[in-house]
Amino acid sequence: MRLYWPALLMLAASCGVPQGGTQPVVIGAFGSRPKVTIPSGAPGRTPRITVLSVGGGRPTAAGDVVLADVDVRRWAGNEPYMSTYDSRPATVVLDGRQVPETWRRSLIGRPAGSRVLLVSPAAEALGPDVPRTGVTRADTLVVVFDILGGYPADARLVGRTLPVVPSDLAPGEPGRILIDGSGRTIASGSKVIVQYVAASWPGMTVVDSSYRRGGPSAFTLKEGAVPAAWLDALTGQRVGCRVAVAVAVAGESPALYVIDVLDTINPV
C-alpha cells in the first residue's frame, strides 16, 4: 500500500491457555499486546490453532479483507520477531491467493473481537507481510491474532457514492467534514477502519485509492502512526463520517485525502 507518510506502513477479558505441557500461555486482553510464555517442552511439528477468546462481532468469511493485529515470535528463546500492536494492523485478503493455509484456518469464520493462537513450523506460519529474513525452516513460530474484523473489498459508507477529492482543498486547511457520521465516537489511540482516496496537489491527480487496490485498511490514531492532520481531523468524529484533509510532509509533495471511516475499535 502506498501512502504519503513514512510510518503508515468485542472484546475479551484476560485469557490464557494452560492446557498441555507444550502449549504457550497467552495473557492479556484483546487489543493489547499479548504476553506470551513458552513452555520448556518441544513444540511439535504439526500446526496447532487455538481460539483463546471469542468476540461478539461479525464472523469473517472467505473473500473478506481481514484486518488484525498480529504478534509473531520464535518458540526458541521466546524471541519477538514481528508485532503490529505499536504500528499498523495487518491486512489479509482471503481471496484464495498468497495466504498460507494456517492463516486461513486461523482467521476464516472467526467473529470480530476474537483472539486466536497459531503454533506452527515457520514454513507454514509466515503470512502476508511477515518478513522471511532471519527465519529458518527449523524454527517454530508462535503467532497471536487479534481479529479486528472482516470486510468486503468494496465496503463503503452505506448509501453513499465513492469519494471525490474536493477541487478547492489545499494544504494548510484544517480537516473538512464532508459527511457527518452517526456511529461510535472516534477516540485518540483507537483503531480506525477506513477506505480512502488520495490525490496530488496542485495537480489533483488521484495517486492512491484503497477502493481501487482491493479493500479497507486499519490505522492506529496516534502520533507517529498517522499524519498529524489525520489525527486532528478524525479524533472526535463518528463512524460513518467522510473527511477531507490535506497532508504536508517535509521533503514530499502535499497530498490530499478523502477518508471514509467504516468502523473504530477503541483502545483497551
CB 47 within 8 A of CB 116: no
Whole-number pLDDT of residue 97: 65
Element (H, E) at 228: helix 228-234
CB 148 within 8 A of CB 55: no
Please list the rounded mean pLDDT of every run of 10 residues in the chain (268 residues): 32 38 88 94 91 96 94 94 89 78 95 96 82 81 96 93 93 93 94 95 92 90 90 96 91 91 86
Q: Which of 149, 170, 167, 164 is nearest to 239 (CA)?
A: 149
> Assign residue 20 a region: left if phi > 0, alpha if psi is -120 to 50, beta otherwise?
left
Whole-number pLDDT of residue 253: 84
Cβ neighbours for 228, distance < 8 A, ≥ 6 positions apart: none
* The three grid cell numbers given for residue 157, joined into one nine-digit string: 459508507
